[in-house]
């Protein structure tokens, strides 16, 4: 259950981050390649091409990353056990 919840959390965070990075990449594309803005073409290019691609790539990538971290929980110490006292 922990793996599934972490994967869903990664999916949600990846979609948001990937969409933001996709918008940024689309805006850079428009500036570098001087895309025309006739009838909103540049805006449609960014929001119908770059944003969905960024969201898909980010969502899948982050979900896989969070899932792998959850699976390897035994190898990665997320919670530390309390230190034991030494008897003198």
Q: Give per-residue pLDDT as tens, 55-78.
A: 999 999 999 999 898 888 755 555
pLDDT digits (tens, 9 = 90+) for 3-48: 889 889 999 999 999 999 999 999 999 999 999 989 999 999 999 9
Do the domain assignments include residue 69? yes
Domain span including residue 21:
9-74
CB 22 within 8 A of CB 55: yes
Q: Cα-flanking dihedrals φ and ψ of residue 79, to 5°? A: -115, 130
Do the domain assignments include residue 87? no
Q: How many domains does the chain have?
A: 1
Do the domain assignments include residue 4? no
Do the domain assignments include residue 15? yes
What single-letter DSSP state applies at residue 26? H
Do the domain assignments include residue 84? no
Do the domain assignments include residue 31? yes
Helix axis angle, 51-71 relative to 2-33, nearest 10°?
150
């Amino acid at each position: 259950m922990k793996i599934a919840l972490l994967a869903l959390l990664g999916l949600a965070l990846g979609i948001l981050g990937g969409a933001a990075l996709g918008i940024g990449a689309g805006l850079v594309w428009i500036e570098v390649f001087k895309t025309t803005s006739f009838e909103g073409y540049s805006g449609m290019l960014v929001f119908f091409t770059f944003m969905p691609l960024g969201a898909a790539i980010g969502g899948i990538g982050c979900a896989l990353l969070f899932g792998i971290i959850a699976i390897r929980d035994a190898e990665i110490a997320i919670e530390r056990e309390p230190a034991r006292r030494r008897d003198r």
